[in-house]
């Protein structure tokens, strides 16, 4: 019985890794679609998001099935419940990649990101992609130390987020208001994407140590990070 | 055994109702703090968010405890797993109210929302508050019809969200870029808050009917809704 249960957990862990890769790839393509005004690629990201959602639904059904058949003990239950929360984070990361693709589609054939802001997005998005893929690896390896390291990388995301606001506010000549709106939302999507990566990874600390490290728990959204913030 | 289990489920449902009220009240206060530049109220919302987070953590522990002790059947499991997802939505709604309060604090003693945009926010925020409280009632009553009605109200939220962008883009004289950034984020927080209300309510449909109504499932974030969108 317990061997079966652990096979199930391994399967679920593999699916979480798959979700992390799919959402990382979705963000990569969405960013290319955004910066190159590639409509076909944007459409592809939007339609393929359903794959990630389907894995999440399947994981939930399997988890309920395992719970009903195998009467797992408390530690195993915590693993299952935590895996479900991770899958919600990863599904949501996929949704955010889709939002980037939708914005690319909405502005087509124009490019939503002005020339002087391309660089920050070409750094911010790959970092977010790396973070989600790394979160998947951390889940697979139950690597609590890796989770703590990953959280530190989120500081770089917050710096990019502030940098976007700085570039919008200090542009000379002033950016169009539409550009300010679009880049504010894009930066917010990327920042939240990385938050979900941290959230997935930090849940591994919980599983491995059995306690929450409150100081490590992400605030699930840094919220407004503006130039005016200290 | 099953009586005990159903008492547990009732308790969990009561806690979800409490979370919905707390997050509704948090958004009400955060909005007042925002529009009246009330720093003390903003600080209160920020510090009291921990109450909502604590209920979520407690619910998760109880759910795991129930699962370990009572070996519920598959239908009961679906109730428990769904309740956990609802609690995540409500916790996240509380986080978004906290984000509004943080933005109010950041701009203090100034008011982040300019005069000509006060009205849209004084309509949008109360609607979001009503929606989350209503979601709690729908959970308590297992009211699938109410859930479908609630989802229709989300259309009004989307209209307000577009109205914010319209007001930012068409302001004459042009709004400051900082105002464009702030109001874009605020509108996004409110729109997401309402999405979580819909998400909680729609899960009731799932519980009552045993199937997902795909056409009813919110997209968990309408994504970019701009003037340029059809």
Q: Which residue has 């963000």 as its token pair?
A: A27
Does a structural domain hold residue A226?
A: no
Contact B224 A103 (CB under 8 A): yes
CA nearest to B173 within chain A = A177
CB contact under 8 A, A182 and B229: no
Contact: A73, B68; criterion CB under 8 Å: yes
Q: At B174, which CATH number?
A: 1.20.58.220
pLDDT of A212: 55
In the predicted model, what is the mean pLDDT of residues A19-42? 98
In a domain, residue A108? The reply is yes
> Which residues on A lie below 8 Å from B72 (Cβ)?
67
Instruction: Give the minimum alpha-carbon distance from B191 to chain A in angstroms, rounded to a whole number.
Output: 13
Total number of domains in chain B: 1
Is residue B152, in this structure, part of any structural domain at all? yes
- List, for residues B136-165, the tens digit of each pLDDT value: 999 999 999 999 999 999 999 999 999 999
Answer yes or no: is B230 within a domain: no
User: Model pTM?
Assistant: 0.92
Closest Cβ–Cβ partner in B73, B178, B188 for A188: B188
Chain A partners within 8 Å of B86 (Cβ): none
- List C-alpha distances in Å: B134 to A3, B20, B122, B153: 44, 8, 19, 11
Would residue A223 count as lying in a domain?
no
Note the pLDDT tens digit of each residue in B17-58: 999 999 999 999 999 999 999 999 999 999 999 999 999 999
The answer to whether residue B229 sits within a structural domain is no
Q: Is residue B56 part of a domain?
A: yes
List the single residue in A73, A177, A212 with the smallest CB-CB distance to B180: A177
Contacts with B215 from chain A: Cβ below 8 Å: none
Q: Which residue has the higher pLDDT, B174 or A52?
A: A52
Residue A1: the pLDDT is: 60
For residue A40, the enclosing domain spans 2-216
Average confidence score pLDDT of chain A: 90
Partners of residue A98 in chain B, C-beta under 8 Å? 223
Question: Which of A68, A95, A169 comes nearest B77 by C-beta?
Answer: A68
**Closest partner CB to B223 (pick from A102, A178, A180):** A102
A67-85 tens-digit pLDDT: 888 888 888 888 999 999 9
HEC-encoded secondary structure of chain A: CHHHHHHHHHHHHHHHHHHHHHHHHHHHHHHHHHHHCCHHHHHHHHHHHHHHHHHHHHHHHHHHHHHHHHCCCHHHHHHHHHHHHHHHHHHHHHHHHHHHHHHHHHHCCCCCCCHHHHHHHHHHHHHHHHHHHHHHHHHHHCCHHHHHHHHHHHHHHHHHHHHHHHHHHHCCCCCCHHHHHHHHHHHHHHHHHHHHHHHHHHHHHHHHHCCCCHHHCCCCCCCCCCCCCC
Show the tokens assigned to A116: 């002087």
Beta-carbon separation of B220 and A92 below 8 A:
yes
């Amino acid at each position: 019985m317990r061997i079966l249960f652990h096979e199930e957990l391994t399967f679920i862990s593999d699916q979480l890794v798959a979700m992390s890769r799919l959402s990382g790839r979705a963000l990569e393509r969405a960013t290319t679609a955004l910066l190159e005004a590639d409509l076909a690629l944007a459409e592809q990201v939007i339609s393929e998001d359903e794959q990630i959602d389907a894995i999440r639904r399947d994981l939930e059904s399997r988890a309920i099935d395992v719970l009903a058949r195998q009467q797992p003990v408390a530690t195993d239950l915590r693993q299952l419940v935590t895996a479900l929360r991770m899958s919600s984070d990863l599904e949501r990361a996929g949704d955010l990649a889709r939002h980037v693709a939708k914005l690319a589609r909405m502005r087509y054939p124009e490019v939503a990101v002005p020339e002087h802001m391309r660089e920050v997005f070409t750094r911010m998005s790959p970092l977010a992609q790396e973070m989600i893929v790394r979160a998947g690896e951390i889940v697979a390896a139950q690597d609590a130390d890796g989770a703590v390291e990953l959280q530190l990388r989120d500081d770089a995301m917050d710096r990019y987020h502030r940098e976007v606001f700085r570039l919008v506010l200090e542009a000379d000549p002033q950016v169009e208001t539409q550009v300010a709106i679009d880049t504010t939302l894009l930066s917010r999507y990327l920042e939240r994407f990385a938050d979900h990566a941290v959230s997935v990874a930090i849940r591994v600390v919980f599983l491995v140590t059995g306690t929450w490290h409150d100081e490590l728990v992400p605030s699930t959204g840094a919220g407004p990070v503006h130039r005016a913030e200290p």
